[in-house]
Structure 1
Amino acid sequence: MTASVSDPVLRLVEVSKRYGGVRALERASFACAAGRIHALLGENGAGKSTLIKVMAGVVQPDEGRILLQGQQRQFSHPQDAVAAGIACIFQELSLLPDLSVADNICITNPPRRFGLVDRQAQRRIAQAALERAGAGDIHPLATVASLPLSKRQLVEIAKALARAPKILILDEATSALPAAEVQRVFALLRRLRDEGLAIVYISHRMNEVTELADECSVFRNGHEVASFPAGTRSDAQVVEMMIGRDLAHVFPPKPAAQAAGAAPALEVRGLTWAGRLHDVDLAVRPGEIVGLGGLDGQGQRELFLALFGVLRGVGGEVLVAGRRARIGGPRAAKALGIALVPEDRKTDGLLLPMSVNDNLSLAALDRFSRAGVLRLAQERSAVAGIVRRLAIKAGSMEDAVGTLSGGNQQKVVIGKWLLNEPRVLLLNDLTRGIDVGTKQEIYALVRTLADEGAAVLFYSTDYAELIGCCDRVAVFYGGRIVRWLEGGALTEHALVASALNLNEEATA
């Protein structure tokens, strides 16, 4: 018999946690039951991450109780929670990139033989965990660093399942996955639910919550606002609970079509690289947002890296403002007015231990320097202007940027490039792991930047974003652009069919 929420396997009762003067949780309560998928909703900074860190033994609460199967427990270390059957997959991946997939999956408890790690047994364990996670195509001996972000997230799920948990907590575990792999993960989570696991699921994608969850709890400002069966509240009602205000519209209105004769700010002709990009042709005009669609791993990331000067041996031509450009590295790209917001802000976009101020000014230090001396007053004034413009929320500009919420961290990544006043913006999965309120702010910002004359290339794994934000979308398949979609043809049906490289009749 399936357990009900009135008989929870895990319960948190009036839990509070403060960091200095910041209140992360204030007398917050939460309960989840075996055989149920419980969605935990709220903006970044609402307390969700702190709550699951309390469940996982990463953070000890200042007040409150943790009850596991009715018994009060205290987790002073993450291993205590793991031993109790709680596995947590955080948004910040815990993988060691230079080790193999098998090493990562078994790192906390590797199988041993004669006192040494049994490599064959470890590989078997890893392969079984990968197959259970729907990622049997990932080789156990591959290094994590060689995998794209979407595959790394599947390895993280496999790592959690290898611990045979009774309670599985997922924090934005599908945020970097394309639609096809999301469905594989959903099928896995439903199977685990039917096997009796209690699953706590955090996502900022409302369609995922609607499709997957049995129960929902909404948090705001460290408090539980409401808990209810999934499907008993409309999306608009849920969003209003999350942000405390009505979300009148998500995407800003698109302007009239750009003049056909406007000269492109960025033009790519026959771009080719290492068997991953094949004769890519595209042009982006000032004021235009051009989307990159298609399944993950079809060349979109490589296109961004080629345009930012990261890749070597790139063939074809790149023209910036009508002039052929030789982009020998990121410094050359920056000098041409090109900015890249990467897909993984924590690894590639920010220096987490450094301050908010230092991260914001890092890409523009040459603007604030004279004869090698930093002009602090000019730097601080420019940074303050960006903070106001993007509404970046931080206790102090000297706080480590790693202490900010995910949405505010992403604003810092964007803001550091805005100080350079770029003409071309390369935006790689810009809103991954960001709450709906901050997403709306970022959508409006991107449209404003385009209206001010920037040319924007915009890749997203979320079809709604491509439809709502972009003027045109180039769909990639196998490193090529297989179809352009715009106007009335830019629909989710057409995006999915084109991503699978189906013929046009299949999209009718």
Structure 2
Amino acid sequence: MTLPEPLFRMEGISKRYGGAVALKNADIVVRPGAIHAVLGENGAGKSTLIKIMAGVVTPDEGRMLLDGKEITFASPAAANAAGIVCVFQELSLIPDLSVADNIVISNPPQRFGMIDRRRQRRIAEEALARAGASDIHPSVLVKDLPLSRRQMVEIAKALARKPRLMILDEATSALTQSDVEKVFAVLKRLRAEGMALIYISHRMHEIAQLADECTVFRNGRSIESYPAGTKTDQQVVELMIGREYNNVFPPKPPHRREEKPILSCRDLSWGERLSGVTFGIRPGEIIGFGGLDGQGQRELLLALFGVLREVKGEIVIDGRRIRLKSPRDAKSAGISMALIPEDRKTEGLMLPMTVRENLSIAALDRISRNGVIDRAAERREIDELFKVLAIKAANFDMPVAALSGGNQQKVVIAKWLMNRPRIILLNDPTRGIDVGTKQEIYLLLRRLADAGAAVIFYSTDYDELIGCCDRVLVMYDGSIIRELEGANINEHELISAALNIAGDQRRTVQ
């Protein structure tokens, strides 16, 4: 079968930031009517590559060709005008504007010098329908949508620009499973219509399901391109990380059930989102929370951390009933709780501030004397955390925004480890990071549990729940409906429980 001529090509692309090389002689060929997957660890150069394609960054060397003609983009608007649109992992939506305003923001329809609201709404409705999100009302404010629905608006916004080449950077990482299936159907339809698509994801099963061609990047270089399906997952991962890849998840040690829970919840309820949640966790355990997205898992973590108001029921720590009025109470010395939030960019980090400032802020009480930070103690703590988490940063005083996504997530985790927590809550902590960094986080969680911490871990990835957790509590409609343990922690049981196929089996889990 003869392949169509490339729509877009990059040859010998290099980009440096000071002394750091982000890309070195990178090549990629993208064809119309095909989905081209770009694979690589965080920091491999993928983000720089797509920023150059989208006109955000100018390369130092190399050339780009569109329809065989050499091109350069001075701005994202120039790339959009050429038919290249990017859906970035970090959303570009304006929260205080409506969905319709966001979709047409770069080129709103006008009538008599004013925005034509009727036509704007029609454009938004068509774009949302094309993105498989016709249930989102164009008039709703973006800030009132959950993260997964905002991601669908971002995709609709890109489709409204009628691209010839659409780039999707971890576009499904924040989506529910039903939304993922809708996006896949949309992408397959766009491919059939002749659009060229570049798809970046760390979820190997998505690549297997969608991609026609693949290119692997490592350390800023394009390592190899190949037809999808011609390499095993292990071969692909080894290309990405440059070494043999084994034992993704650390072994699970046997646990002594006779130990008393460090944390227990009894009949925890909050509005319509949580209903009668009862469970306990012992020191050294990793408990996973499963179920379809939006069944109360996130609200449960927020309730445990003192974020939510008017939570009913009991929270018991070390056998003592407590009342958590704020996160300050949760992280206090007598409780020592930490929460790794879902969205590292908006909830976990202060992007303009330095790595050092981000790491220290949660532990200021512990590393300060009379209101003055003990810089020597701070340096010792940060040095140790850099080693433990293998954080890759040129220095402590660089902006945390300059780090790759995986290293930013390590900083979020390290920030809370500065407090030496006994109870660690994690909200989908590996979303949008590479397989190598995921493995490091899995090992870290097991080490923390082995040292006596209690780890509560919500994940949308079934493989993580199966591989990491000693027990999995499946939530449905705000309640725990099933506990899985041992050999019962498998994909079939997780999916059956998530869909509540076996009927309502609400339980008290101790």
Using the size of structure 1 for normalisation, the TM-score is 0.97
Q: Does 1:62 align with 2:47?
A: no
Aligned equivalents of 2:223, 2:497: Cα separation in 1: 41
2:351 paired residue number: 352
Q: Give the Cα separation in 1 of the matches to 2:146 and 2:488.
A: 30
Aligned to 1:274: 271
Counterpart for residue 317 of structure 1: 314
**Is residue 474 of structure 2 the alignment partner of residue 475 of structure 1?**
yes
Say if 1:351 and 1:359, in contact at 8 Å, map to a contact too: yes
Contact 1:3 1:34 in 2 (8 A): no
- Which digits, 9 at most, give the CA deviation of each residue in 1:43-74, with x for residues without a partner? 11111110011100000001111100111111
**Aligned position for 1:105:** 103
Percent sequence identity is 62
Q: Is the 8 A contact 1:125 1:162 kept in 2?
A: yes
Letter in 2 for 1:25: L
Superposed displacement of residue 379, structure 1: 1.0
Distance 1:116 1:229 in 2: 49
> Which structure 2 residues correspond to residues 135-214 of structure 1 after superposition, within 5 A?
135-214=133-212
Consecutive unaligned residues of structure 1, counting only runs of 5 or more, are: none
Query: Equivalents in 2 of 1:3, 1:51: separation in Å?
Result: 27
CA contact (8 A) 1:148 1:297 kept: no
Give, in angstroms, the shift of residue 261 of structure 1: 2.0
- Work out the CA distance in 2 between the residues paired with 1:35 and 1:462: 30
Task: Provide the rounded CA distance (Å) in 1 between the counterparts of 2:381 and 2:42.
Answer: 26
Q: Distance in 2 between matches of 1:131 and 1:282?
A: 41
**Counterparts of 1:367-378 in structure 2 under 5 Å?**
367-378=366-377
After the TM superposition, which of the residue ranges 176-185 and 195-204 deviates more from structure 2?
Answer: 176-185
CA contact (8 A) 1:3 1:35 kept: no
State the Cα deviation string for residues 89-146 of structure 1 (Å, max 9, x = none).
1111111112111111111111222222222222221122112111122222222112
Q: Deviations over 1:439-486 (max 9, x none)?
A: 100000011111111111111111111111111111111111121112
Determine which of 284, 289, 293 is the counterpart of 2:290.
293
Q: Deviations along 1:233-268, whole A, 9 cap, x unmatched?
A: 111111110000011111111111x22221111111
Of the structure 1 ranges 74-83 and 314-323, higher mean CA displacement relative to structure 2 is found in 314-323
1:369 CA displacement: 1.2
Taking structure 2 as the reference length, what is the TM-score of the superposition? Answer: 0.97
The aligned counterpart of 2:456 is: 457
What is the alpha-carbon distance in structure 2 between the residues aligned to residue 309 and residue 140 of structure 1?
Answer: 34
CA contact (8 A) 1:27 1:64 kept: yes
Q: Per the alignment, in what secondary structure is the counterpart of residue 136 of structure 2?
A: coil
Find the partner of 1:26 among 15, 18, 24.
24
Task: Single out whichever of 321-330 and 394-403 deviates more from structure 2.
Answer: 321-330
Quote the Cα distance in structure 1 between the aligned partners of 2:249 and 2:176: 21
Query: How far has the Cα of 1:281 moved from its partner?
Result: 0.9
Q: Do 1:292 and 1:476's aligned partners in 2 also have CA atoms closer than 8 Å?
A: yes
Where structure 2 has 5 or more consecutive residues not aligned to the other structure, the ranges are 505-510
**Is 1:4–1:34's contact at 8 Å kept on the other side of the alignment?**
no
Could you say which residue in structure 2 is the equivalent of 1:94? 92
* CA RMSD after TM alignment: 1.3
d(CA) in 2 for partners of 1:87, 1:424: 43
Q: Which moved more, 1:441-450 or 1:375-384?
A: 375-384
8 Å CA contact retained: 1:166, 1:198:
yes
Q: 2:261 aligns with which of 239, 264, 287?
A: 264
The separation in 1 between residues aligned to 2:67 and 2:429, in whole angstroms, is 40
Return the alpha-carbon distance in structure 2 between the equivalents of residues 504 and 246 of structure 1: 44
Letter in 1 for 2:12: E
Aligned to 2:50: 52
Q: How many residues are treated as equivalent by the alignment? A: 502
1:299 and 1:266 mapped to 2: Cα distance?
Answer: 19
Residue 3 of structure 1: how far off its partner (Å): 8.0
Aligned to 2:236: 238
Separation in 2 of the partners of 1:454 and 1:402? 30
Pairwise CA distance, 1:504: 6.6
| 1:445 equivalent in structure 2 | 444
Counterpart of 2:508 in structure 1 is none
Distance (whole Å) between structure 2 residues aligned to residue 17 and residue 48 of structure 1:
12
Q: Does 1:330 align with 2:342?
A: no
Q: CA offsets per residue over residues 131-177 of structure 1, 9 Å max, x none? A: 21111222222221122211111111111111111101001001112
Report what 1:226 is aligned to. 224
SS in 1 for 2:331: helix
